[in-house]
Each structure stands twice: as C-alpha cells, then as structure tokens.
Amino acid sequence: MKPLSYFILFCFLLGTLTSYSYAQPANTVDWKKVNVLVYTKNGKGYVHDNIPHAVKAIQKLSQEKGFKVDVTDDPAAFTEQNLKKYTFLMFPSTNNDVFDTDEQRVAFRRYIEAGGGFVGLHSVTGTERNWKWFKQMVGGTFLWHPTFQPIKVKVMDKAHPTVQGLPEVWERADECYFLKELYPGIKVVMAHDLSSLDKKEEEKIKSASAPFADYYPAAWYQNFDGGTIWITTLGHDKLSYEDPIFMKHVLQGMHFVASQSKSLNYTKAYATTKDNPLP
C-alpha cells in the first residue's frame, strides 16, 4: 500500500474512533436495579416541613422510573448488613444529629468507603455538625442563610450531566446556604449569584460568603472516601417538590450518583471508628 493510502486509512480510522467516543451516551442507569434508602430523621432543632413533600416526590419518581425505595426515620436501619441492599442513600433536609450511636455512624461511613452513593437535599449540610468526616463528605457544615427570597442560581459546569436541560440562570425563590469548614474536594456545578440577594443583609452576606465574592456554591458533587456524593442546597420550599424543573435537578443528581454506584466492595472499607483519618 502506498504511503498516501496509509495516511488516508489512518485518518479514516482516527475519525471513526473519535466520532464513536463522542457518540457514546452519558452513563446509563437501569433503574429497575436501583434500590434507594430515603432517611428522614432530624435531631433536636428545626425540622423542615418540606420533608414529607420530598418523600412523596421521590416515591413518585420511583413509580415512574421503576426503582425501589425504602423510607425510614429509624437509625437502626444503619447496619452494614442492611445498607448492602442499597445503590445510594438519600437524606432530604435532614438536620442536626441523626444517628443514635457511633456504631451506626461507622456503618454509614463503611458503606461510603465500599463505594456507596449519597444524595443530600437542602439542609443536609446541617446534619451531624460535630462529626468531621460527615462534614467533609457533604462539603462543609451549615453557617447561616439569608431570608427566603427570589434568587438567581447560575450553572457553573455546563458539561456536567446533573445540569443538562436546566436554565443557565435559574430564577427561583429559595434560601442561599452559607457553610463553614468548606471542603476543598467539592466540584461545583451550580452557584448562587450573590448580587441577586437582598441588599439589606449585604454586610452579613459578604462576611458569610468569604472568600467567595460574586458566586457561592449551591450544588456540587465529589468522589469522597470511595463513594460518590451529590448535594444541592436548594429546596427549602415544600412547593419545590411539585416543580418539574426542581425535580429534574434532583433526578439528575440521583441519576449521576446511581451511574457511579453500581456495586459495593467492602474490602475497601477500612473504618473501625467514625473518626479514622482519611487515607
């Protein structure tokens, strides 16, 4: 074969392979093989009235998509044997201490280490505020939020599957959660436009949002200690769970976590206490 023919063949094969790679769909999920544990316990303190609405919306998604869902507020569900059943765990607006024992915390942590997934909604960053590992997993711990108000939320990572089809600038009524102990491993996909917040709390917002100036994380993901984590701080209003755009946001987060959490491998779980240092 002549050199020119080799070159033409090489270009054809390269183009074919490149086209094939771009033609591949995003990670697919066989929802009929997905099993979700929705955990709703709250500790002492504020309890969101959106929780039953979130549960109802998730149950509706399970009927539409075909995945299994168990709902509980009983921390006794957190045993290693029981958690092995689940593709991912979902905490809708949990707050404060939600486990009764450190054994339950260790079971939760080992599940994540084994490759389990986690989806957290709204006030989940206010959960287990005295447990360092959990705070790192969810990306930080709750500090403060301005009053519920109209806000703008901007897509920061247009290529990420969890934001596909969402408004690039999403105008909605919600709360802007500020965190302390923000964990640097998170990858932000959506952010609050701080300029859209009510100016009457401007100085407090500047203090709480530091070192950020213009935008502040609203939704993110991370691969943390073996597991896949997706968090949205949106969803304060119970009516959000009847909003098709918001539920698309939630479903795409669930889809992303499910696509990354297809099997558990407990040989990778190493924690013997809730506070074992990260590798």
Cα–Cα distance for residue pair 23/208, rounded to 1 Å: 43
Q: Whole-structure pTM over 0.85, yes or no?
A: yes
**Cβ(119)–Cβ(89) under 8 Å?**
yes
- Whether the pLDDT of residue 18 is over 70: the answer is no
Alpha helices in 146-270 (DSSP H): 202-209, 244-260
Pairing of β 117-121 and β 227-232? parallel
The per-type count for the chain, helices as H runs and strands as E runs, is: 7, 11
Q: In the predicted model, what is the mean pLDDT of the chain?
A: 93
Model pLDDT for residues 168-183, shown as the tens digit of each residue: 999 999 999 999 999 9
So what's the pLDDT on residue 48? 98
Bridge partner list, 172: 151
So what's the pLDDT on residue 27? 84
Cα–Cα distance for residue pair 279/63, rounded to 1 Å: 39
Cα–Cα distance for residue pair 133/274, rounded to 1 Å: 7
3-state class of 22 per DSSP?
A: helix
Model pLDDT for residues 217-268, shown as the tens digit of each residue: 999 999 999 999 999 999 999 999 999 999 999 999 999 999 999 899 999 9
Cα–Cα distance for residue pair 274/63, rounded to 1 Å: 35
**Cβ(230)–Cβ(186) under 8 Å?**
no
- Whether the pLDDT of residue 150 is over 90: the answer is yes
Model pLDDT for residues 37-84, shown as the tens digit of each residue: 999 999 999 999 999 999 999 999 999 999 999 999 999 999 999 999
So what's the pLDDT on residue 9? 38
Cα–Cα distance for residue pair 59/53, rounded to 1 Å: 10
So what's the pLDDT on residue 20? 29
Share of the chain above pLDDT 90, in %: 90
User: Under 8 Å CB-to-CB from 35, ≥6 apart: which residues?
Assistant: 67, 68, 69, 70, 85, 86, 87
Domains and CATH numbers, the chain: 31-268 (3.40.50.880)
